[in-house]
Chains A and B, each alone.
Chain A
Amino acid sequence: MSDPINIRDLAVGSRIVLGSGAEVEIVSNPKDGVWLFARYLASADDPAIVGQEEMIFAQDVVEVRS
């Protein structure tokens, strides 16, 4: 299990990978340490979701790409 990522530090525009393997770009960070607002860039499981914005739960974030 990888180290937990402190999502409070993530800037708008950062690209992150979720547990499902999907890649999203942060569009807003309320800095509550629990949620991010992000737009899907790629999702092998559900390609239809690409382009949509969703709230991302901190425990779903597994990697910061940039």
Chain B
Amino acid sequence: MTMNGTRGYYSGLVDLATGLISREIFVNGDIYAQEQERVFARSWLFVGHESQIPNPGDFFASRMGEESVILCRDRVGSVHVFLNSCRHRGMKVCRYDDGNTTVFTCPYHGWSYGTDGALVGVPFFREAYHSELDKSKYSLVEVAQLCCYKGTVWANWDASAPPFLEYLGEFRRFLDLILDGWDGREGQVELLGGVQKWIIPCNWKWPAENFSGDTYHNISHRSVDLVGAGPSGRSRRDYNELAATRKLHVTIPDRGHQTITYVLPKDHPPQAVYQNSPEVAEYFRHCEEERRRRPGANSRLIGAPGEVFPNLALLPRQPRTLAVWHPKSAHETEVWRFFFVDRDAPQQVKNFLRDYYIRYSGPAGMTEQDDMENWNYAHAASRGVIARRHPYTYEMGMGHAVENYEWDGLRVPGRVVDLTKAMASEEPMRNLYRRWAQFMEADSWDELMTWRRDALREAEAAE
């Protein structure tokens, strides 16, 4: 009999040679505490969208891992992300979800900060501090790195991490599928409505794994397919246009990002979609024609669920949404779901999509409810001392991924599993947990940026 360890992470819990992964990485509180430092404090994390803070003074209270942060636009229009914690005694200086302000004032002792993070107000500065406090030392703590990419805002606490686009690597084109306009123009989306937030009783890695590209669980959504919750009244999505495609799992091994994607054949005409509304159907038909006319390989890719390491899920198409799996404890996750729409789409299209999106996703979404049933009960059933002795298997399709995948003249980056016949694989999950284990074991970003070492070796070999 193997006794459960009470210690934290150790090498071997993620065994990709056998495809076995210990349940401890999902339920162990010590491992959870370690991953806050080793994963979340070093990774690029999604914070929000610039359309949430269009004007000077606008702010949106967000999260990075367990930490509360403030995304705001200062008086001169620059975007900042600050730790939402007063430098005096740590109280939250912003307790609203969003709004507009000139200052963030701590309600505890009254310290006050400008929207650029500078400490501007200290009660009894002359009297009690005798004007001796160096205010410049006590600005709000700002993230080490910030990147605004096609409207999305990303931040990183680690100054030694690579720039965001290098972190993203070749996964960028898959993220573009959600951020570019449906007609192919760059960065044309805006947030639709508010952010849906709710708490689920499971570890954050359950939804992260699911959205990495778990096609094996489609049986869970059978009832939604039977109801016909999709935008054409059949199934839960429009599948007609997928009949001619190749369905792929794409993983970017040295980055830890992965997705499902569909590749259209060359010169494939737009198919009928969104048939529940003639106006919406016409909008997407027009956009699809425009997209095909624009140069670039993305016109032949159809987006599907994917994951930017560690905790950002993308669903570029139906529905079009980003979700963040904020860790709360080993056993709790706070989900934030952002819905997107083409900024200049007709209001009728936005209304239709809003109804479809919330019918599909979010706490009241039919498909997301299916998923939550699985994650929450699987997590609960994995916490016991007996359950924890038995690892999960991730053996499906091991050794069947290929590099330099090409179909009908389109090369796809990363390691690829063709699901058109295989139906499912667990390559994306292995990719996620390989990267997670690397973060848990590496002491610095130098160890994590394997691609830089490879490039250096290649350059030296070429000399």
Measured CB to CB, the residues of A under 8 A from B are 28, 30, 32, 34-35, 37, 55, 57-59
The answer to whether A59 and B123 touch (CB under 8 A), given A34-B112, A35-B110, A35-B112, is: yes
Chain B contact residues: helix, strand, loop or mixed: loop
Decide: A55 near B102, CB < 8 A? Known: A34-B110, A34-B112: no
B120: interface (CB < 8 Å) = yes
A-B contact pairs, 18 of them (CB 8 A): A28-B102, A30-B102, A30-B103, A30-B105, A32-B105, A34-B107, A34-B110, A34-B112, A34-B121, A35-B105, A35-B110, A35-B112, A35-B121, A55-B121, A57-B110, A57-B123, A58-B110, A59-B123
Quick one: which of B103, B107, B121, B123 has the most chain A CB within 10 A? B121
Q: Give chain B interface residues in 99-126, CB to chain A under 8 Å.
A: 101-103, 105, 107, 110, 112, 120-121, 123-124
Tell whether, in the assembled complex, residue A34 and residue B105 are in contact, meaning their CB atoms are under 8 Å apart: yes
Among residues of B, the one whose C-beta sits closest to the C-beta of A28 is B102
Within residues 73 to 111 of chain B, which ones have a CB less than 8 A from any CB in chain A? 101-103, 105, 107, 110
Across the interface, name the chain A residue whose C-beta is closest to B104: A32
Which residues of chain B are within 8 angstroms of A55 by Cβ–Cβ distance? 112, 120-121
Give bound CA distance, A57 to B123, whole Å.
Answer: 6
Residues on B with C-beta less than 8 A from A58 are 110
How many residue-residue contacts, CB under 8 A, span A and B? 29
Q: Give the docked Cα–Cα distance between A32 and B121 (Å).
A: 13
Query: How many angstroms from the CA of A32 to the CA of B123 in the assembled complex?
Result: 14
A34–B111 Cα distance when bound, in Å, is: 9
For chain B, the count of residues having a C-beta within 8 Å of the partner chain is 11
Residues of B within 8 A of A34 (CB): 105, 107, 110, 112, 121
* 5 A-B pairs with least C-beta separation: A32-B105, A55-B121, A57-B123, A34-B105, A30-B102
Residues of A within 8 Å of B123, CB to CB, are 57, 59
> Which one of B101, B105, B107 has the greatest number of beta carbons of chain A within 10 Å?
B105
Which residue in chain B gives the minimum CB-CB distance to A58? B110
Query: Within the assembled complex, what's the spacing in Å between the Cα atoms of A55 and B121?
Result: 6
- 14 extra interchain contacts, Cβ-Cβ under 8 A, other than A34-B121, A35-B121, A55-B121? A30-B101, A30-B102, A30-B105, A32-B101, A32-B112, A34-B105, A34-B107, A34-B110, A35-B110, A37-B102, A55-B112, A57-B110, A57-B123, A59-B123
Instruction: State whether A32 and B124 are in contact (beta carbons under 8 Å apart), knowing that A55-B112, A57-B110 are contacts in the complex.
Output: no
Residues of chain B with a CB closer than 8 A to A35's CB: 103, 105, 110, 112, 121
Query: How many Å lie between the Cα of A57 and that of B121 in the bound state?
Result: 8
B60 to chain A, nearest CB (A): 18
> Could you say which residues of chain B place their CB within 8 Å of the CB of A59?
123
Q: CB-CB < 8 A to A57: which residues of B? A: 110, 121, 123-124
Contacts of B112 in A (CB 8 A): 32, 34-35, 55
Residues of B within 8 Å of A28, CB to CB, are: 102
Closest CB of chain A to B249's CB: distance in Å? 50
Nearest-CB residue, chain A, relative to B124: A57
Instruction: Report the separation of the CA atoms of residues A32 and B120 in the bound assembly, to the nearest whole angstrom.
Output: 14
A26 CB, nearest partner CB in chain B, Å:
13
- Name the residue on A nearest B125 (C-beta): A57
Tell me how far the C-beta of B113 lies from the nearest C-beta in chain A, rounded to whole angstroms: 11
A28 CA to B107 CA, complexed, in Å: 19
CA distance A65 to B112 in the complex (A): 26
Considering the chains assembled together, what is the distance between the CA atoms of A30 and B105 in angstroms?
Answer: 10
- List residues of chain A with CB within 8 A of the CB of B107: 34
Which residues from chain A contact B124 at a C-beta distance below 8 Å? 57
The closest CB in chain B to the CB of A59 belongs to B123
Interfacial chain B residues near A30, Cβ < 8 Å: 101-103, 105
A19 nearest CB across to chain B (Å): 9
Report the minimum CB–CB distance from B139 to chain A (whole Å): 16
Q: How far is the CA of A35 from the CA of B113 in the complex (A)?
A: 11
Chain B residues lying within 8 Å of A32, measured Cβ to Cβ, are: 101, 103, 105, 112
Least Cβ–Cβ distance between A38 and chain B, in angstroms: 12
The CA of A35 and the CA of B121, in the complex, are separated in Å by 8
Beta-carbon nearest neighbor of A37 in chain B: B102
A28 to B120, CA, bound (A): 14
Chain A residues lying within 8 Å of B121, measured Cβ to Cβ, are 34-35, 55, 57
The residues of A that contact B105 with a CB separation of less than 8 Å are 30, 32, 34-35
Q: Choose among A32, A55, A59 the residue with the greatest number of B CB atoms under 10 Å from its CB.
A: A32
> Which single residue of chain B is at the shortest CB-CB distance from A29?
B102
Bound together, the chains give a CA A18 to CA B112 distance in angstroms of 19
Q: What's the nearest-Cβ distance from chain B to residue A43, in Å?
A: 12
Residues in B neighbouring A37, C-beta threshold 8 A: 102
List the A residue with the shortest CB-CB distance to B102.
A30
* Measured CA separation A30–B104 after assembly (Å): 9
* A57, B126: Cα distance in complex, Å: 12
**A35 → chain B, closest Cβ, in Å?**
5
Q: Give min CB distance, A33 to chain B, whole Å.
A: 8
Question: Could you tell me the distance between the alpha carbons of A59 and B102 in the complex, rounded to whole angstroms?
Answer: 20
